[in-house]
Structure 1
Amino acid sequence: MGTKRLAMGVDGGGTKSDAVLVDETGTVLGWGRGGTGQVFWAGQRGATESYSNAVHAALGEHRPDELWVAGLHINVFDESRLPFSSLRFVPAGELTRGLATALETYGIVVLSGTGSFVAAKKEDGTTLTLDGLGPLLGDYGSGYQIGLAGLRAAMASPWGSRRRTVLEYLIPQNLPVESMQDIFHWVYYDRQASRADIASVAKIVAEAAEQGDRIAQEIILNAADDISDVLADLIEHLGLESCDYPLVASGGVAQGCQMFWDRVCERALAMAPRLRPIRPSVPPCIGAALLALKAMGVDWTQALLEQIEKTLTAYKQTKD
């Protein structure tokens, strides 16, 4: 299928790598997913394979004369399928991808997915990122932190009435175990509990919190407070207390858990009342695609973003 110019956005996180292919009207033509694209978790070969799986699935049978790619820092394209001469790589870090999902070019991004960080870009181009240090040294308010706290709470649930939580029953239903007793072996003996596996428990904790489970709510709010403390450091460092900047959510936890995001916004607005909270409904790879489109000369509009979101949903439905 020959199309003159297409854009591809790529986002590699601690659990998965996503790629999306769009045309200049914002119509989604392809979507792909691979494993983690982070080298220090997957190794160079594993990260390359993850990106390759995602981008080639998104590309499918499309063979554009020009492919503008944003968010990919290594060339994983097969030249026999797409000549390297047709590729145009566009710089797109996690901060700029996050801002782009809200059609913004400066502001603050609060990312909580498998890992976490808080970053900002000022109007004068000054940037600062805090955290992103991984589960041992940082990742405050991350999915990993929430998931680990959820596992601990579920294990302690039988100890007494004040520790009772539905997580004791919900977690085994969503992990490759039959009961909470198997969690101990899964973690310590089988050694099959990866960082991504533990972070995946965050979604279960968030669902329990929304259902009113007190322990789950405490875990979510504590995580939101932890990342808000990092946000406070960033605001102080850059002197953003009086700035009218967008505050953009990014990552599965920040974008997917209303309770978490509400708490972050409450804390943020107490520090900097003029911030404008935005929780985009599209994933970060769409932000990368928007940056690629912008590099191609396509103007950012709300209609363009809505077209991408609508056709992405439709495309995924055809693949289910």
Structure 2
Amino acid sequence: MAFFLGIDAGGTKADYALADEQGVIARVRSDSIKRMRVDAQAAAHHLETALKELTAKTGIAMSGIAQTCVGTAGETVPLVTDWLRAEIPARVGGGLLILGDVEIALDAAFRGEPGVLVLAGTGSNVAARTVEGRVITAGGWGPVLADQGSGHRIGLQALRALCLARDEEKTTLLLPAVLEFWQLSSFDELVAHANAIPGPDFSQLTRTVVDCAERGDDVAQAVLVEQGRELAHLACVLMRRMGQAGTFAPRLAFAGSIMEKVARVRAALIARVREEYPETQAMDGVVDPVDGALWRARGAAGIV
């Protein structure tokens, strides 16, 4: 019996799954092992702790792993990949495959086949794989330049919307809700806090925006719908590019906390895509990128 290790190494956390040829045996989570986010000592500690937890749960020694696949952002950055190539083989047996986090998420959704994946959490990105296996992307340029539909953009646009509502003398639940969340006492304090350098984490306002929308606030609802439609635009950009290349396949999958938990964003996204591509098939739920890493690990070992 062969054993496989899949790792989704994100910026704030890392997810690990230990599997055999048929299915997953155990999963654990650690703090980030991404060297662009944490120092070498902390990354090594997080990795070591997670691997020991997997062994404790399963009784399977890491030396018995046949193949590991790691998906990470920054897969072309030597600081990231050199550390992974040094530290994982020092603790885990078998081969090591390092891919981008977008690629393993696509694999989790489509198992190497064509399709479009929308990833939206704190940040966002939209990616597709063509029939030829080429990965193309839209968005993903960070919080200043892109991140449509992300937690960051939802929080920021909600603040802009509540400021406009104030100018228009329009009432919105967002103002008192944000003041309460940030523990501020006035609109002027909110303006100063939002414009501070360094600024606050706007993504933390997402739950507040969703709560206001669920309570019937028109301003909050419009923010969520707008962000869903902005993500849809990126998905349609990739679908057009796939169609022009003769590889169009209207399948849509999702990943990330916004896609999982914020129904208005997801619904607006799907509705907008279907305005242009009515035949689009939208998968239920969200994909788990670590499943794509395991699929790749098995494939690297010759197991389909």
Question: What letter is aligned with 1:191?
Answer: P
Matches within 5 A, 1:210-289: 210-239=214-243, 243-289=248-294
Separation in 2, partners of 1:292, 1:211 = 46
- Give 5+ residue unaligned stretches, structure 1: 300-320
Which of 51, 55, 62 is the equivalent residue of 1:59?
A: 51
Deviations 1:283-313 (A, max 9, x none): 43443344334434555xxxxxxxxxxxxxx
Question: What letter is aligned with 2:238?
Answer: L
Distance verdict in 2 for CA 1:272–1:38, change over 3 Å: farther
Shift in Å at residue 276 of structure 1?
A: 1.3
Separation in 2, partners of 1:49, 1:272 = 49
Q: How many residues align?
A: 284
Question: What letter is aligned with 1:226?
Answer: E
Separation in 1, partners of 2:178, 2:197 = 18
Q: Is the 8 A contact 2:106 2:128 kept in 1?
A: no
Q: Which residue of 2 aligns with 1:32?
A: 30
Separation in 2, partners of 1:283, 1:180 = 41
- Give 5+ residue unaligned stretches, structure 2: 56-60, 76-80
Question: What letter is aligned with 1:288?
Answer: A
Shift in Å at residue 129 of structure 1?
A: 0.9
Which of 112, 117, 137 is the equivalent residue of 1:109?
A: 117
Instruction: Kindly indicate whether residue 201 of structure 2 is the aligned counterpart of residue 205 of structure 1.
Output: no
Separation in 2, partners of 1:108, 1:296 = 27
Question: What letter is aligned with 1:268?
Answer: V
Cα RMSD between the aligned structures?
3.4
TM-score, normalised relative to structure 1? 0.73
Separation in 1, partners of 2:252, 2:14 = 23
Separation in 2, partners of 1:86, 1:79 = 12
Matches within 5 A, 1:1-320: 5-13=3-11, 16-24=12-20, 25-34=23-32, 37=34, 39=36, 42=37, 46=38, 52=44, 54-61=46-53, 62=55, 63-65=61-63, 66=65, 68-72=68-72, 73=75, 74=81, 76=83, 83=90, 86=93, 88-105=95-112, 106-154=114-162, 161-162=169-170, 164-175=171-182, 177-179=183-185, 181=187, 182-189=189-196, 191=198, 193=200, 197-239=201-243, 243-297=248-302, 299=304
Deviations 1:230-279 (A, max 9, x none): 22222222217994442011222123211111111111122223321114
For the residue of structure 2 that corresponds to 1:136, the secondary structure is coil
Percentage of identical aligned residues: 21
Separation in 1, partners of 2:146, 2:286 = 27
Distance verdict in 2 for CA 1:233–1:173, change over 3 Å: same
Distance verdict in 2 for CA 1:51–1:206, change over 3 Å: farther
Shift in Å at residue 22 of structure 1?
A: 1.8
Separation in 1, partners of 2:263, 2:283 = 12
Q: Is the 8 A contact 1:117 1:131 kept in 2?
A: yes
